[in-house]
Structure 1
Amino acid sequence: MRHFPGVSRLRGAVVAAFACMLAAPLAAWPASDPNILQSYALQLPVRFNNGAPLQRLVLPAQVLASLQTGGMSDLRIFNEQGQSLSMAMSDSASLRQTENHKIVLPSSPIVGTPDVKDISGSSLRIEEQQGKRVVQIDSGASDGGARSKQILGALLDTRAIVDPAVGIVLDVDLPDAQPVTFTLQASKDLKDWRPLAETVLYRAEATADHLGADHIELPAADLKDQYLRVTWTDAAGHAAPVVMRSATLTTARGVSNTPRVSAALDRPVLINPHELRFSLPFATPVAALKISPVGNNVLIPVRVLGRNDPGQPWTVLAASVVYHLQSAGKVQDSAAIELPPTAFREIKIEADQKTPGFSALPDIALEFEPAQLVVLVNGLPPFTLAAGLANAASPYLPMQSLLPAYRAAQENSLPLATIDGAAAVVQANASRDGMPTRTLILWGVLLAAALALGAMAWVLLKQNNKAAGDQ
């Protein structure tokens, strides 16, 4: 058999080219060693307090929105020598309330004449009528009962509540297809009232569940020796036909002041007035979505759905009402929509088809549960927090390793370190149906490699045939 040198060159070139084509996309990825600072996408300076070996660090939203591995495993703190510091992760319960208790409070109706539009500044008096407690609006005059009365709100006796109140759920019947604004206020003397919270509830039909935040968060309110007043109004500011039976108050001991952290979402895609989509570039679960619609007197029932891959079906995460209302000179905005504690990379927001939907792109903020580290400080500064590396192993020790004889929330008394960073803005990626982006990229690389190899083989084969003809 005759040997052609061009064939050997062809084989060698094809093998080399194929290896280069496969290695090219891999070369574009950064180093993947979790023990090297340069492997991480985000690097921020950390300022520790002098003289304290153990310190705590509350993670800002900029860090939470950069993590690429579940369980916050892709997070390290390096000293000047490039050594990673020993860390433990606080339990989320130690950052928020502990020892929660639920207390059911009976409701005493507040009655007044139908011409009363706003009782927010009214004084109240409590009367016993036929063995029942009834609360009257104290107008300073008596009408002798000649004028008809209606229920304008409810009074809750919270004078015996010792622990701070962190939430309340109202047991109410709502009118059909009417948004109702509930206002909560507290007072010691039934005359001077301080605002606590507001929410809007909405029920489309008698057989449907209501939408909106039925669990109303309270700012660790002190209600001892005070009364709690609940009033409700319709969109025009008049008393709505609501029946309230009771309320369930949630109290907590050891309430922490560590709030949720939030990041603005930059330009999600409004596909049409009833559908908004975006893809999240991080692996941290989103605790809540704050959706602020554009325009005045806007109320839109919505559903929030999630999935992790374009090939997966959508999962319903929550249903609520987003609104921006102006009534009696006051502006009311909907609360953030609570989401289940599962990370989803793609989010879809659907507006009720019976409404006009979103007239413009709403403002969206992502809220995260607070996260706190306990760090053993060693080595020399500067110290650098690094985050953002796929498939990194967890670096965390048990809390008892750093704090022997550990007690719940003990770490909250440690000195607080700080991180130098900017305000968090998350760049939303486009969400699409069909094949996952990673799969499309892989197929694109393989197709480009096949075409390049085919072209190179054709050129080399022509050169080999020419050389064979000359011989």
Structure 2
Amino acid sequence: MIMQRTLALLIAATLTLPCLAQDKPAQFATHLPISTETAAPYYRLSVPLAAYLASAHGDLRDLRVFNGSGQPVPYAQLAASGSTEEKVQRQTLRWFPLRGEAADAPAGATESKSLQVVVKQAGDGSLVEIRAQQGSSGRVAAQASAAPLRGYVLDASQITDRRAVRALELNWDKAAADFQLLDVESSDDLRNWHSLVSGVQLARLDYNGARIENRSIALNGFRDRYLRLIWRDPANAPQLTSAEVEQSSSRYLAAPLTWSAPLAASKGDSDLKPGEYRFRLAQPLPLARLRITLPPGNQLLPVEILTPGRERRHWRSLARSVAYRITDKSREWSNSEIALPGYALQEFVLRIDPRLNPLSEGPQLSFALQPAQLVFLASGTPPYTLAVGNKDAKDAALGAATLVPGFGQPGSPEIVAASVASEAVKIAAQSASSGSSPAATQTPSEEKDWKKIALWGVLVLGVLGMGAMAWQLITQMNKDKA
């Protein structure tokens, strides 16, 4: 029994060892201050290029966030994500009244003598005039002008993208009835009509100074050039005062890129041919684009990006493009960027057609990447610091769903944008530049480190002492049995 208790104590002591081995700010060479202007439970920021360049690993496994007390806070690393831009436009339509007898034209009828009209159109298909068809004596036109208002024809021929129409909004005179019931049809030739929406209920109510209204008809886009509104009850057909369509379009916006300063090509590579230039980065980075600095004047440079292998026959082409700048009077055509696949790349070769290469001293390239997103918990007191530059650090990022309850769902905790200072603080450089003795420059965090070392020593001695006691107990128990 005593032996079992001793082993349990030893296991418990061993389990407490990792708790003392916590990441410390001094273990990371580069620190970048984080600015948090608004109090929030979580913050989100884009990892700056300075963090990528100072990291000991291209995948940022050594990235940490520390609070004002020097304690690491939980964080999640997300891939760069774009956004969707919604654009809403409103366009006014011209309308033309339709008159006819209700008995001759039941609701929903697509052919009715009472609604036969004469149409005048411009060359682009837009309507100029719609009027009742006249008989030989002209009595049809007179009867038609006195007939009840049945509906309207709306001219949508000038809308460039009718498939993007999401709503039709109507307005009518104040003398009309509070409720309107109508059908909406479409046609491309003003002869054959197709139903779009049936039994639309519109309303406009004023009571005690308050207004309740529904003047919008939902549409899921249409192809035809004309719309027709037919009222179910001609006696309640109003006089329109406006008709507008609402177009909604969306486009995907890629995540913004972060660009580096121009890099010079490596020198002294004997395996390169004329027009080939090798570039090396400190660590593999997920490059999305390259930008070549073009000399002044008109330029045309066919370029190719390759990944070199041990032998030239193993070189692999990554991308081809043509960088150019062409000026004609006051207009300029230019392209200096080369799109890349976006995966980690540390070394590559730029090949320029030697027949068209004006860069006698070699090209300068800037690279761009889509920075990862970082979400961290506002644990402890600010200010917070982004730290990188520890080759021995392991990946400590959590999953977004683990870090933020209900991440991405309505009602989840608020995540506020934060920013990172552009200038990094080099911890190692500051220590080296200081001429004072270690005792004089000892910081509170270093004092805490000494305390932890002392705790480690006490713990180790305690474990050894407990082991000796266990050994004595086991030896004594064996002697008693003998």
Short-chain TM bin: 0.3 to 0.5
Structure number, greater radius of gyration: 2
TM-score by length of structure 2 reads: 0.45
